[in-house]
Every structure is written in structure tokens, then in C-alpha cells.
Amino acid sequence: SNHPMIVVSEQDILEIDLNDLELSDVELGRGAFGTVYEATWVSKKLRVACKVFRVRKQGGSGLLQSFKRELNAYREVSGAYILKIYGYAVETISRLEDKCYLVMEYMAKGSLACMMEKEKISYFRKVKYALHVARGMHKLHQHNLIHRDIRPANILVDEHQVAKIGDMGITREVSANHQHTMVGYNPYMPPEFYLGRYSQKLDVYTFGLTLNEFFTEANAQLDITGSTVKLQNLSPILNDFILRCINYDPNQRPTSFICQKTLALYVKCFTETINKKHRDYDKSSTEKRNSIFKHYHERITARIREELNYAW
Ligand code: ATP
């Protein structure tokens, strides 16, 4: 394949000339604030995704602020598991309104939320995506940020099956005054959010709910009653892990570092156990893979148990 080799880092977030952007008619999705289109960044010969929305020039529209905040959050942090933002463009459309374009990495598979509706994802692939998200979350936390909105709609997957965290619109610094940054009711939020005092463990909770939804394919808020989650067909290790992430007490939740470590270990044990016997595992169908997993389930679980002592 011929991917253009350009490396864009957080320092490079730049204003892109509108003439250098060619928007297609292909709508990749709609969010609360705008529509995302497939587009071409002409001078780079690069396929990109472009989020388009209108903002009022003046008069206290929070949208422009939100746009700038999103850009700033991305400027601070970049990494393999965080969606890349290349730049932005602003177009004046009237005396009152501007049109903003957020130009980002094109994620061929769309969001996890979309994928879950469209296709059956094998158990192991889910575990891999979970690891990617944990790595992205850890990276944000290392930069002293709280994402605050980790959920399946905000995790995007590229053509190489890499999952990345996107939508940093409401990302905040740990030190920010959280009292004034409350957003509306969000079923993914942990109890402490409504008390206005929270830490990065908030992300661990929303991450846990996201995994619960992802693995059980059940709606996050419907399936959680107290601290018990119905996790059918799930490795007990993973079940236990998710329950720890969504513990009501933030102090009982693992850190993002531990999340990343645990899932990396899971992937390692899984790969080693299955690859010994099934060299064609990656090429098998989803059904075949899931049945192979079931067969080795106990062996994998035992290995992880053995090695996981450090984590809890
Ligand atoms: P909200 O606006 O409430 O945050 P959202 O996160 O779903 O909701 P958007 O970020 O506007 O809203 O994204 C809308 C949809 O567009 C996503 O669910 C996804 O399917 C698609 N999408 C967003 N960004 C990209 C991208 N970089 N590449 C491909 N598809 C994308």
C-alpha cells in the first residue's frame, strides 16, 4: 500500500488554508455539535476526517471555547493511541457566524460504537482494543489530563485495527477547578462526578463502563446495578478487572498504569497460549476464534492469575 509518510506531532497543529481542504460528500458521522466528513488535505495528498460546525462570533457561545479547548488538549499530548489532530480552519460565513473545521486523522473503521452495531468483533480483538484505550488513557494521565468522556462513541479505530481515544472537547487539567465545569447528566459518570470532586479515577470508571458495554454488548447504564455487572461469557479475570474499574470508591479502582499493565499481560498470555497451537488464529473467522478462545479459556486464565499478583 502507499501511505504518504508524513509525521505530524502536537507542535504541528496548525491553521490550514481552506483551499487546501477538499471536503467530500461522505458523511462519517454526526455528533451533538457538528458533522464529520471524509476529506482530502490536498497539499499533503492525505485522506483526513473533518469535523465541521458553526459558531457564533460573539455573545458567549461556549462552542468556540470548546473548540479551542479541544485543540489545546491535543496540542499538549500526542501518542500512538490518541487520535491525531492535524489542524483547523475557520471560515467567516456571516457577520455573526464562523464555520470551524477540525482536521483529524481519518479512522477507517469509525467509532467502537459504530463497529459494535455493524460487525461481530472477536473476543481477542476486543481485548486488544481495550489495551489500546488503556494505553491512550495512561498517556493522557501522564500529561496530567482527565479526558472525562471515554465511551464507545469517542474511541475510533483505524485501518490497521488500532483503537485511539478521540473527542477531547471536555478534557481538563487535573488542577482545574472542577466545580465550574459540570456538564449535563451523563450515564457514564461515576458518583463522585456529581459531587464536583474527582480525579483521573473518573476516567478509569468510564473506561470500565465502556469495556462492560463493549464486551457484553449491553447498554452500560442498564446493566449496572450497584457494583454488580452481568458479564456473561467473559474471562473471570476480565470480569474482575472491569468490576474493579467501576468500583464506586475511586480509591479502590486501579490506576490507568495498572489498567494498561493488566491488559498487556492479558494480551501476552493469550497470544502465547493460543499461538503455540493455532498459527492461523488471526486468519480464522470470528466464530472460530471465539471457539478456540473458549477451548483455551482456563489455561489462559490460570496463567494470567499466576502472573497478575503484582497488579492488585
Ligand atoms: P458528541 O458530539 O456528543 O461528542 P460524538 O463523539 O459521536 O458525539 P463526533 O466526534 O462529532 O461526535 O463524531 C461523530 C461520528 O463521526 C463518530 O461517532 C464517528 O463515527 C465519526 N467520526 C468522528 N471522527 C472520525 C474520524 N477521525 N475518522 C472517522 N470517523 C470519525
Q: What does the pLDDT look like over 154-180, one tens digit per residue?
A: 999 999 999 999 987 666 666 554 443
Out of 85, 111, 155, mutate this one to test ligand 1's pocket (max ligand atoms within 8 Å of CB): namely 111
Atom 8 of ligand 1, residue of closest alpha carbon: 31
Which burial class, exposed, middle or buried, applies to 141 when counting CB atoms under 10 A from its CB (0-12, 13-18, 19+)?
buried
Comparing 48-57, 78-87, 89-98, 183-192, which segment has the lowest mean pLDDT?
183-192
pLDDT digits (tens, 9 = 90+) for 61-71: 555 666 666 67
**Ligand 1, atom nearest to 51 Cα:** 11
**Mean pLDDT along residues 241-245:** 91
Local confidence band at 206 (pLDDT 50, 70, 90 cut-offs): very high
Q: Which atom of ligand 1 is nearest to the CA of 114?
A: 20
Task: Name the nearest CA neighbour of 146 among 86, 197, 209.
Answer: 197
Q: Looking at the CA of residue 154, tell me the nearest atom of ligand 1.
A: 6
Q: Which of the residue ranges 3-12, 93-102, 141-150, 232-241 would you say has the lowest mean pLDDT?
A: 3-12
Least confident range of 54-58, 232-236, 240-244: 232-236
Q: Which of 28, 38, 149, 188 should be mutated for ligand 1, with most atoms under 8 A from CB?
A: 28
- Please measure the distance between the N-terminal and C-terminal CA atoms of the chain and give it in whole angstroms: 43
Comparing CA positions, the residue from 282, 283, 287, 290 lying closest to residue 234 is 290
- 112-121 pLDDT, tens digit each: 999 999 988 8
Say how far apart CA 182 and CA 194 lie, in whole Å. 8
pLDDT-wise least confident of 18-22, 140-144, 155-159, 162-166:
140-144
Give the amino acid at 133.
V
Residue 106 has what pLDDT?
A: 97
- Bridging pattern class, strands 172-173 and 228-229: unpaired
Centre of ligand 1 from the C-alpha of residue 50, in Å: 10
Q: Is 159 helix (H, G, I), strand (E, B) or coil?
A: coil
For 264-303, letters b (16+ CB in 10 Å) and e give ebbeebbbebbeeebeebeeeeeeebbebbeebbeebbeb
Cβ atoms of 22 and 39 within 8 Å: the answer is yes
In whole angstroms, what separates CA 160 from the centre of its chain?
Answer: 15
Q: Which atom of ligand 1 is nearest to the CA of 167?
A: 10
Residue nearest to atom 1 of ligand 1 (CA): 31
Grid cell 474482575 — which residue?
240
CB proximity list for 293: less than 8 A, separation 6 or greater: 122, 123, 124, 270, 274, 300
Asked whether the whole model's pTM tops 0.90, one would answer no
ipTM of the complex: 0.95
**Nearest protein Cα to ligand 1, atom 21:** 29
Averaged pLDDT, 200-212: 94
Q: Please check the confidence at residue 225 and state whether its pLDDT lies above 90.
A: no
Pairwise pLDDT comparison (143 vs 1), residue with the higher score: 143
One-letter identity of residue 166: G
Q: Compute, in angstroms, the gap from residue 232 CA to the centroid of ligand 1.
A: 29
The rounded distance, in Å, linking the Cα atoms of 143 and 281 is: 37
pLDDT of amino acid 54? 83
Question: Is 294 a residue whose pLDDT tops 60?
Answer: yes
Q: How far is the CA of 289 from the centre of ligand 1 (A)?
A: 29
**Ligand 1: lining residues by beta carbon, under 6 Å:** 28-34, 36, 49, 51, 104-107, 110-111, 113-114, 153-154, 156, 166-167
pLDDT at 306 over 90: no
